[in-house]
Structure 1
Amino acid sequence: TGESDATVTNVIVASHYMNYGGYDNLKIASSTPYPAIGIKMGVCEGDSTLISILNKGMDAISQKEKSDIMNKWITVQYEHGVDMKKVSRIAIISASVVLFIFGSFYYWNRKLKKEVSRRKEAEDQLRNSFDEITEQKKIIEHKSEEVMDSIKYAKRLQEAILPPTSLIDEKIEKNFVLYLPKDIVAGDFYWMESTVCKESNNELNFIAAADCTGHGVPGAMVSVVCSNALNQAVLQHKLCEPGEILDKTTDLVVERFERSKEEVKDGMDIGMVSIEKISDTQSKIKFAGAHNNLWVISERDDIGATSNKYELESVSKSLFEIKANKQPVGKYEMRKPFVTTELLLEKGERLYLYSDGYADQFGGENGKKFKTKNFKNLILNSIDKDLNAQKEVLLTNFNDWKGSYEQLDDVCVIGIEI
């Protein structure tokens, strides 16, 4: 075919063909174990003269010059074949890299499997926990519904002890009751009962604003005990003096709570009045209170009873504050009989009973208590309004003052015009 992949020859011949024969694609790959062939010069046999001349000429050439001639005319570049040491080194490095890659892959694969397994286990635990939480949530929601149902039922029971507004309107023509429980049920309550005065044979209407210990369900339970005690004092024991009614109520409340194995000091603060109509223009008012005072609004300079007078320059009427006893209805070591204060009020004059929830409410720009002084100012500044309008003023002001703050306590305010 005229083609050859390789040949074995001496360096001189190979050099000639590579340098001068045009075979520039030849490359010397490696040496052979065959004997080296020296450089010779051939002459005709028997021509001794030429041989002598040539030998002398050759001898005259130095070794360096011979090397230069050889390098010039017989110069070849070895391009050895595969270097096994180098191949081995590359193979070892490559194998190490491959082993490292496979080792890393194996390591990370096992680690990933462990991580997947761990996460799956965690997900299973989380799923189990979620299922458990869901189940507990259902149980709690069910219990919460039961509690709420019980509280709502307690509300209906508490509403049953509150006098209906129709009864209050029937007995006291001009009045309002502002009642704002903090929770569904309340510790505050308002109370009313009617009887006949033994002395004058006139009808006596008792009305009170009470604030029992606590609020919510505990306060509501105390309110039931205290309300029943008030009813017993009036209906069973036939008492007509507010002070005597509170004394007897205290006895009944303490007696009721003493049945408990643990000491119970719960009770209530209260302001109570009895209203007896004497004529078309006058009514006899008797007041007794436990911590909660009575406010009377009148244009008179003196209402005929010991009181503290409070005035505003812009209002023609004054607020007279009749003090209550500084003791609760309930167990109290320094207990004294409740004082009954009697006074005659004229037609158009007003009286107010209240719990402390209104004045103690936090709110306003600085989150402070509304305070009793501001409560008095509000009453006086709205005194020219009819009672229903004044109730709306009190309600609107309370909500505006409270704003985003939580309601602190139950609120009960009663207004009556003679």
Structure 2
Amino acid sequence: MASTPMDIDDAAAIPSLNIMRTLGVNVPSTTAVSDVISSFRPTKLFQRDDLKEGKPKPYVLSIDFDDPGELCMTSESDETIQIYNVKDGRHDKSLLSKKYGVKLAKFTHASSSIIYASTQQNDAIRYLATHDNSFIRYFEGHEAAVTNLALHPGADNFISCSVDNTVLIWNIGTKQWTGKLFLNTPYLSAWDPSGNVFAIASPSSGSILLYDYRNYGKAPFSVFDVLKARGRADPEAAFKGWTKLEFSNDGKHLLLGSRGDGHFLLDSFDGSLKAYLKKPGASTRRVAAGETEGGNVESSGECCFAPDGRYVLSGAKSDLLVWDTLMAPGSDKVLEPVHVLEDKRETAVVAYNPRYNMFATADQDLMFWLPDPNL
């Protein structure tokens, strides 16, 4: 099989990834995702060169891109934040959070500031300026580990979920939460593209609750029963092991990732099962949101939508899986992957660039994927 030569990140070498061939010159690529989705290949592997000899390699806990798609950020299990320049294909800076730990790091709508959850000392969410690694604000209110952070698509307001059975709504300009919901295992959250609706996933109840952002103090306006909607799909995955909740950019679908043998693609209006995205192989070793069994490493989710809303990507024990949501599933609603992108590494975290045709995956090393121009 033809493939794009892979670059290995080396501090002593000049970055060689010609990512501009895909990203264009100062403008987003206009190539449709459907034209390139089958040609993605692992193209640039970043390996940490700042680790002391004999020290175990950390795990990547989350991946996020800034709004312009020019920066990629990871939070890692050695209490560091790593930032990469996408266009140049190089490591940009490393930030330390040794005192508080770090997970679920997300860019705000200003690329120079981020929010992230703590892993030690307390359960505060921290607001950090990346240019000088200084804290702007602490968001205190949770009494147990934070399981998810979801940033509003149009404003610097965000939602946090926790194993303390609360959901907090924040305005980034003030340290006090502006709203609080008491729910049973509200471990995942997501905003719809308009920012007018948010969803909360509760695995123990097997349900997803939809709220009107302007009236979130009232009861949810809709409750999706995943266990009922699943049809013949994996019953275990319908009420435990949930890893990701995400709306498609067209607002039509809701993706519920699971550690079971597939993910759920739901209609975002009525909660019906559009397709059960069947994994042909084993899932990753990461624990699901809110789970701690076996002391395994957390993750911000191993699946995501492509920006066009048509394709779903998912990591696995090996290879990267791609489903086409426009394909009709079988009578049992099971949909098989349309592409299997070869990579023998485990893929435990996946994020698609919001502006350019590239995405990133990780387990212990970060990988950039680009379309192979020769295919």
What's the TM-score once normalised by structure 1's chain length?
A: 0.26
What's the TM-score once normalised by structure 2's chain length?
A: 0.28
Which structure shows the bigger proportion of residues in strand conformation? 2
Please identify the structure whose Cα radius of gyration is greater.
Answer: 1
Which structure shows the bigger proportion of residues in helix conformation? 1
